[in-house]
Amino acid sequence: MEHKPTTEKQINKYNEDEIDLIPYAKKLWSGRKNIIKTTILFTVVGLFVGLSLPAEYTCEVIVKPNLSSSESGVSGNLSGLAAIAGINIDGAGSTAEIHPMLYPKIIESYSFQKELMESNIYVESLGAEISFEKYYSEIHSLSIMGLIKKYTLGLPGLILNWFSDNKELSSSFKENFNRISETDEKMMRLLKEQLQVSVDKEEGFVSLSATMPEKLQATQLVVNAKNILQRKVIAHKLKKAEIDLEFIEERFMENKLAFEQAQSDLAKYIDANKNVNTATAQTEVERLQSEYELAFSVYSELAKQVESQKIQVKKNTPVFIALKEAVVPLKKSSTPLSTIILMWSMFGLFLGALVILGKYFFANFREKWSD
C-alpha cells in the first residue's frame, strides 16, 4: 500500500485545529498575583463561614416494629362458629397495628410535636434540663449565618407576621378546634429540620435521627421522639383491643340470652312430652337439641374470647425492637472547618483563574472580530 505524502495545506489545517495551551499558561502565570489574592479572599470568607456556622451533633436510632402477624383479634375458630350463627365478625378482627409507613405522618401530627416540644433537653450552659420549646424561645441564640438568613430570606415572612390579622376567636370556636400559636408553628418548623424519620419499605426498619447544638441534646431528642412514637402506637393498639373487647362482650350477651332460651325451650318440651313416643315428638326434641348445642358452642367460644381479649387489653409489650441504640455522638455532624476552608479556597482559585482566562479569551475574540 502506497503512503501519500502529507501536503503543506494539510499541515496548516492541522496546526489551525490544534489548541495551543502555552498562551493560556503564560496568561495564568502573568496573572498569578490576582489569582492568589482571589484565593486568599475566598479562604478568609470560608474561615468566616466555617466559624459562624453553629455546631451540630446528630444521634440516630434504628428500630423495627414488632408487628404481630399471628394476631387476629376476634378471628380464628370464633369466626367460623359465629358465621354459623349468622354473625359476621371478621371486620372486628382486623389488625390493630399501625403500619410503619404511617409513622412519618404520626410524627408530623400536632399532638406528637407538641409533646416533643414539651419534653426536656439538657443545656450545658445552665447545667439543667428545660423544655425544647423554652430552650429555643429563651436560651438559644442564632448564629451569624442564622441571623443573616432570618433578615434576608426570612424577611418577607417577618413582615407578613407583623401585619398579620391576630383577631381572637370566639369561645365556641376555641372549644371546637386546636389553635396553633406562632411559637408552636416556629417550634414545629425547627423540629421538621432537626428530626428526620425514614422507613425501609422492604425490611420495615424505621430510622429516627435528631440534630442539636449539643451532644446530649441530640441523644435526648431522638430518645424522646422514639418513646413518644412508641406510646402512640401502643395507645392505638390498646384502643383497638378495647373496641374489640366491647364488640365481643355485646355478642357474648346476645348469645348468652339465645343459649338460655334454647336451653329453656328444650327442657320445657322434654318435660311436657315425657310419655309421648311419637316420631314427631322425637324429631322436635332432636331439633331443639341441635339448636341448644349450636347456641352452647357459640356461647362457650365467645366466653373464651372475652377472657382472651381482656388479657389482650392489659398487655403493654414493647412495640419496637431496637436495632441501633441511641449513643451520645463524639464528633460533630456538621461539615468540619478545614473542609469548608478548603472548599472556599478551591473555589477562589478556580474563580481567579477563570477571570484571567475569560479576559484573555474575550480580548482575542474582539481582536479577531475587528480583523
Determine the pLDDT at residue 197: 92
Same domain? For 201 and 139 the reply is yes
Q: Where are the alpha helices (DSSP H) in 273-370?
A: 279-314, 337-370
The CA-atom distances, in angstroms, between 278 and each of 117, 265, 275 are 81, 19, 9
Same domain? For 199 and 324 the reply is yes
Query: Which has the closest alpha carbon to 313: 229, 239, 231?
Result: 239
Same domain? For 167 and 104 the reply is yes
78 within some domain: yes
202 within some domain: yes
Same domain? For 281 and 355 the reply is no
Determine the pLDDT at residue 114: 92
Same domain? For 120 and 246 the reply is yes
Same domain? For 47 and 118 the reply is no
Same domain? For 202 and 262 the reply is yes
Give percent helix, percent strand, percent coil of the chain, each to the nearest 5. 65, 10, 25
What's the rounded Cα separation, in Å, for the pair 365 and 362?
5
Same domain? For 343 and 323 the reply is no
Determine the pLDDT at residue 89: 47
Determine the pLDDT at residue 26: 80
Query: Which has the closest alpha carbon to 294: 346, 248, 258, 322?
Result: 258
Query: Which has the closest alpha carbon to 333: 213, 223, 226, 221?
Result: 213
- Can you give the residue range of the structural domain that contains 298? 54-334
5 within some domain: no
Residue 366, Cβ neighbours under 10 Å: how many?
Answer: 10
Same domain? For 60 and 45 the reply is no
Same domain? For 343 and 223 the reply is no
What total of structural domains would you count in the chain? Answer: 2
Same domain? For 177 and 109 the reply is yes
Q: What is the pLDDT along the chain (371 residues), one digit of tens a residue?
A: 455 555 555 545 445 545 567 877 887 788 888 888 888 888 888 887 766 677 789 999 999 987 654 444 444 444 544 444 444 444 444 445 788 888 999 999 999 999 999 999 888 878 888 989 888 888 775 544 444 554 455 545 545 555 554 455 455 555 566 677 888 888 898 899 899 999 988 888 899 999 988 889 999 999 999 999 999 988 887 887 778 888 888 888 888 888 888 888 888 888 888 777 788 878 887 888 888 888 888 888 888 888 887 777 776 566 788 889 999 988 887 666 777 788 888 988 888 888 888 887 887 777 777 76
